[in-house]
Structure 1
Amino acid sequence: MAEQLQERPTVSAPRHTPVSPSPSAPPQGNSNVDIETPPSKSEEDQPPNGGYGWVCVACCFWINGSTWGINSTYAVFLAYYLSHDYFPNTSALAYAFIGGLSISMAMLVAPLATKCTATFGTKVTLHVGVFFETLSLIGASFATQKYQLLLAQGVCFGWGMGFLFVGSVGIIPQWFTTRKSVANAVAAAGSGCGGLIWSLSTQAMIDNLGLPWAFRILGVLSFTINLICSNIIRDRNAQVGARNRSFDWSLLKRPEFLLVQAWSWLSMFGYVTVLFSLPSYARQIGLTAQQGSIIGAIFNLGQMLGRPFIGLASDRFGRINLAALLSAMCGVFCLVFWIPAEVVGSQMGLLTFFSVVGGALAGTFWTTIAPVAAEVVGIQDLGSALSWTWLIMVPPVTCAEAIALEIRRVGVVDFVYINAQVFCAVSYIAGGLVMWVLRGWKIGEMEEIERIKHKEERRRAQRGAMLQQESEKGHAHSHDGERDSTLTREVSALSARKQGWDLKDLLRRMMKVQKV
């Protein structure tokens, strides 16, 4: 999840009303004008672009590893549940819902976590998350009925993950300017690293110590790691003027923001399907439980290795460009490498290759959602935009794996998962196409901002010449000029967003080669 940002062109203000650039200004050539102009900041309020920010990156890395990383081990648990009658009278569909429920609960509590951050501060929000996640894992170790497992591993773990994720996800962009994408990508790689470590260790713990002790050990380790990181990490909410609003209803009236939500839906249908299905798919085609857990771990290794490179590439080639391209590429890889894995001579070899490359591509959404949302709504409204995103994502993350298991072919030996694999691939490809449309809008907005900028510069030059000739009259009209400039900025922001949806030029802009 994250961003780089350099200087972005904005509508210029008069010389007597300087406007500091947003702390998350996009790369040169990209632009996003906020309706409300942020207040001027003193030099010391600017992001240090590193320093203690790297400590915060390390904390977010391990928080992600001990939340999303542990959550990804549900693929190991799911494979175990499907092959053992540990919880009597529990269907595969019920098990599938538990895995999706943990993610959906994390998304559902996001607005509450955002409100908690605004009211009580970041540390309180993170500590609440530590409490719920620890309680869930220890509680799951004593579960004997499926409803107990659903409440512990599904609902309670999701609450803990949600508070930890929301409390930490917005911190890194506050510490960096030009290195935002790299810093966020490194932190996001923590989920892959955690998934790699926990997937292998969880399978070993289940085999040697049993399911209850696997839960308890995970609970103690996650408590220790998350508590240390929660107390070391620091935010800069006061310096950046973060609004931390749970909901801004005006965002739902903006077509470009709705496209981001469509991309999130499609990405989650694909991501949850491949994340939770790989180990059980491996066992279905004849591999062992140990090989299945290794495939799941390698998939997380791919995420860990791929996310920093996605961050670096988005710095160089543009965030929306990369989000569109890599989402579509992930769908293509599912068709080309995942489906044939069942019939090749070396099943483990091809599935391992797909897990590495597909894992690197599958997490594109998590690496780019924050910078993409910042491009669309601006840094000050990023918290609200992400809260909406997490909430709107609840249905797909809840139902994705359940859909995948339900559309499996029943009563056949070969290609049992073919429908789920196609479902995953089509979701990713469609998500890439949605982002390509958003890219066309963004280029249109940028072109309009550039036009307004040049127009405003000419207006300022004319006004400066007039004030030079009539200094006293110019002083009398200075406040009118300030009000006019504020009004111009507000009108320009709305005009630029609308101009981006000029359908006559949208297709041309979609085909234009440009960093976005």
Structure 2
Amino acid sequence: MGRSSGDLKANRIQIEEKENNGEETVDTEIEVPDGGYGWVVLLAVFLYNFCTWGANAGYAVYLAHYLEQNTFPGGNKLDFAAIGGLSYGAGLLFSPLITVLSHKTSVHFTIAIGIVFQGAGLLLAAFSKKLRQIYLTQGLLISLGLAFILIPSISLLPQWFRTKRSLAMGIATGGSGLGGIMYNLAMQRIIEKKSVKWALIVQFILGTTLSFIALLLTRTRREIVLKNSKVEVQLLDKQLLINLCPWLIYGWVSMTVLGYIILLYSLSAFTTSLGYSSEQGSYVSCMVSVGNVVGRPIIGHIADRYGPISIGVLVHLLVAIFAWAMWIPCRNLATAITFALIEGALMGTLWPILGSVLARAVGLRKLDAAFSTMWLFLAISSIPAPVIGLQLRSNDPSDPNTYINTALLAGFGYFCAAIFLWLLRGYIIARDNSISDSKAVDKDELHIKVSPLALLGGLMTVKSTSQRVV
């Protein structure tokens, strides 16, 4: 089949799949509808994010209650911070196994397992009486649920969207922000009027119902993407491990998540350290979620136009600057709310651009394998992050700079993430310059070598000469 003369508007590409001997090539065509039923799938992913990351963001409400009421004797701040870290990242350690399971069975079956895990964790946590039970339920089981739902679902939208990919991801991941608002405020209200037990039961009913609705709406285009391809998903893909490009992504994700979780879990406690109530602290945490809802779709739209990696570099630098310049000198509630709103809009940029960056770097056919390995690095960074943030703060309640070390580390995480993205941008620009078909996107280009000199040239490039946005 000859190469089509259509451009990005035709949403078609020719992918040359190199065999191991480097001689045989197979031309196949991947069609991406850039909409259609993809908008329904976007709604499904929005609901998944609402019920997982959004619910996880509301953990600060339970944390405050456990500490104030001494709900579980023997439990201290480090225990509950560790539970928060477990709920975020423990399940993601099983990402290679979950990815293989979703390919051996189906996306729907894997997500259904996650919904059961998450529901069981919430329901059992409602009736837990001992600290170890909370570790297992609100920590491990909920984390397994989150992993089984998110790992198969996050690669759905790149199969349905291309030119609107970051916008679609931004809208879908905005579900976590809306969920954070709802769970922070609603669960706080239920705890005040009824009890933690009823808050967890209501969260179980709401999360399970919405997740099953999303499951019914979910459709995958995996068979079309992998048609005529000999690519097989493995526990660990050797080609990804020996290529520099994926490692730059893993570094970016690891440092971003470190800063992200420290910010997310510290702002409520930081507000109370200024002398304000836990309710006012929950309002500050809520502003992070408000920023997520507004900021992620906007950043996704801008990233589609100017390039997800280029925009990512800029936004991550801004998050670091605000963490250092605004959080450290913050001394009143108004500044804390403003800071939370700004950082909330910017700090979750990872999620709207992640699918676009990975597809750009490794191609659609390697997307699941790249996500699988990426989740491992995300888990390793996220599990200890809440404890690190807690340990860095000063133990002197009269110290006005109680959270200065926490703020410095959060900013440092985003600054390092920006450097990794800048290196990735230079690498992909250099790789693009060696490709004759400058209009093609999502090609499997990991076999293309980039010399150190070409990489240096890419790093110094302000605007790519290629027609492909970076």
TM-score computed with the length of structure 2 as normaliser: 0.90
Distance 1:126 1:240, change over 3 A: same
Counterpart selection for 1:417 from 392, 400, 403: 403
Distance 1:411 1:176, change over 3 A: closer
Cα drift, residue 23 of structure 1: 10
One-letter amino acid of the structure 2 residue matched with residue 308 of structure 1: P
Cα drift, residue 79 of structure 1: 2.5
CA displacement 1:190-211 (0-9 Å, x = unmatched): 1111111111111111111111
Counterpart selection for 2:126 from 141, 148, 157: 141
Instruction: Give the Cα separation in 2 of the matches to 1:24 and 1:133.
Output: 40
Cα drift, residue 21 of structure 1: 9.2
Q: Which runs of 5+ in 2 are unaligned?
A: 20-24
Distance 1:291 1:447, change over 3 A: same
CA displacement 1:70-124 (0-9 Å, x = unmatched): 0111122222233331111112111111111112123123222212211111111
Q: Secondary structure at the match of 1:278?
A: helix
State whether structure 2 residue 451 is matched by structure 1 residue 512.
no
Question: Counterpart in 2 of 1:156?
Answer: 141
What percentage of aligned pairs have identical amino acids?
31
Instruction: Give the Cα separation in 2 of the matches to 1:374 and 1:315.
Output: 13
Larger deviation: 502-511 or 68-77? 502-511
Instruction: Give the Cα separation in 2 of the matches to 1:147 and 1:200.
Output: 27
Instruction: Give the Cα separation in 1 of the matches to 2:128 and 2:37.
Output: 42
Q: Secondary structure at the match of 1:341?
A: coil
Question: Counterpart in 1 of 2:336?
Answer: 351
Distance 1:415 1:35, change over 3 A: farther
Q: Secondary structure at the match of 2:381?
A: helix
CA displacement 1:179-226 (0-9 Å, x = unmatched): 222111111111111111111111111111111111111011101110
What number of residue pairs does the alignment pair up?
Answer: 452
Contact 1:32–1:378 under 8 Å retained in 2: no
Contact 1:19–1:40 under 8 Å retained in 2: no
Question: Counterpart in 2 of 1:324?
Answer: 313
Instruction: Give the Cα separation in 2 of the matches to 1:349 and 1:25.
Output: 49
Distance 1:106 1:172, change over 3 A: same
Q: Secondary structure at the match of 1:190?
A: helix
Counterpart selection for 1:222 from 182, 207, 211: 207
Distance 1:38 1:425, change over 3 A: farther
Question: Counterpart in 2 of 1:435?
Answer: 421
Distance 1:244 1:57, change over 3 A: farther
Question: Counterpart in 2 of 1:503?
Answer: 453
Question: Counterpart in 2 of 1:333?
Answer: 322
Contact 1:117–1:244 under 8 Å retained in 2: no
One-letter amino acid of the structure 1 residue matched with residue 462 of structure 2: K
Question: Counterpart in 2 of 1:127?
Answer: 112
Greater helix proportion = 1
Alignment of 1:94-493 (within 5 A): 94-241=79-226, 243-342=232-331, 347-413=332-398, 414-450=400-436
Contact 2:12–2:32 under 8 Å retained in 1: no
Instruction: Give the Cα separation in 2 of the matches to 1:401 and 1:136.
Output: 20
Instruction: Give the Cα separation in 2 of the matches to 1:409 and 1:310.
Output: 35
TM-score computed with the length of structure 1 as normaliser: 0.82
Contact 1:34–1:493 under 8 Å retained in 2: no
Instruction: Give the Cα separation in 2 of the matches to 1:306 and 1:284.
Output: 27
Question: Counterpart in 1 of 2:22?
Answer: none
Question: Counterpart in 2 of 1:3?
Answer: none
Q: Secondary structure at the match of 1:173?
A: helix
One-letter amino acid of the structure 2 residue matched with residue 340 of structure 1: P
Contact 2:169–2:300 under 8 Å retained in 1: yes
Across the aligned residues of Structure 1 and Structure 2, the Cα RMSD in angstroms comes to 2.6
Instruction: Give the Cα separation in 1 of the matches to 2:76 and 2:429.
Output: 49
